[in-house]
A and B are shown apart, each in its own frame.
Chain A
Amino acid sequence: MFKSFDDIEREIDETFEELMSSRPMWDSSTGRLEPLTQVKESLDKIVVTMDLPLVRKEDIHLTIEEKNLNLEAPLVRCVRYERWGTHSDCEFSSFYKIVNLPTRVNPDEAKAKFLNGVLSVELPKTVKGKKINVE
């Protein structure tokens, strides 16, 4: 049986996520950290949450495309790691993350809230299920 393009696209996204999860969650060359992120999908929406300690609500820069949610947020102060591994000292100043969404969403109806350092973004799906009458 042939797979639909959506299934193939989803499998590519999942493989990409798998690869991304096994790499370091930081980049010392840019001073960026990757936040812990959870993506939950329900019938009509996708909810993305991110743990953003040391971030102020007014500094969060969120942009959305049809299948990506992009976050940039500076930390209120730099986080230093001293004597770790072969780095004598490294310093991070922001969170950065591109979240690949499992399906297309309507950017105009997106809602976000930030409470106790956790960002929650609700994204209504573009294609909602078609109602089937039950006889």
Chain B
Amino acid sequence: MTVSTGGTTGAATSSAPVAPRPTRRRGQRARTALEVLFFVGPALALFLVFVVWPIVKAVQFSLYRWKGFGPLQDFVGLDNFRNVLQNDVFVDAFTHNMVIVVLSILVQLPLGLAIALLLNRRMRGQGLLRTIIFVPYVLSEVIAGVVWFQLLQPQYGVADSLLDSVGLHGPEQGWLGTPDYALYTVFVVLTWKYLGLAVLLFLAGLQGIPDDVVEAAQMDGASWWQIQWRITIPLIGPTIRIWAFLSMIGSIQLFDMVWILTGGGPANSTTSMATFLVTEGTKRQNYGIAAAASVILFVVALVMALVYQLLVLRRDSHALAAGGLR
């Protein structure tokens, strides 16, 4: 905004004599630079102090064996990285993250789309239904986690009581206590929590589809299914791709829900990369190893984000830029 204002002023004064122009330009430019600095400065300072600096420090810590206090002096090179990558718990944690990434897209995408398409039709109670679907997303993750933790208690929890009352029995150790089920139980809770966001985004995308396209298709005799499949869903493609990106990054950084529901247990069956590094760092005081794990997590997230950006999202931004120029 500031820059364009400067530009127009410059254009307006272009009829002024030639000689004073350079100085005025220079003054303008300095002023513009100062204004940019003024507006960008605070955000940039925050970004440097709270994002860039911690990353730099994490990389530094990852090269040392360090207990969290005292001077950094035990330089171990890449030992921490070797340690992390050879650690079965970390490899499992990485696998768990990937399972959640894949499951989220496989399960939440069709489910979210179906609900969004349903809620996009005129019907009674539409507003109420939209709210109900969206409420879990607004809840704080910790609160949702604690509530589900209580619901899923073995024997005394609501889930098991309900099952018991219809003659079924939950697993002996409970849903969160059985290593084979725990990760999927966590995933169910995550889906409950984050489906609302998918539905909301898809609905917003659906609202943006012009009626005339749909009407034209109807005139040509397309069925409701054909319209959704051939027109609506392709048209909200960019929204779906953005949602998948958000979902993927969220799944890689998964922490809160696991921490509250299982703490990574039982028998490390639900650890995520983030819970691994917190456990290594704050509980075992292996800050070097934790830092190495955090660097690996950062690289994994960055690579996935960049690849996704290059392969999938670039089409959308190109289309957007082209649309903007037109």
Partners in one complex: no
Chain A: residues with CB nearer than 8 A to chain B? none
Chain B: residues with CB nearer than 8 A to chain A? none
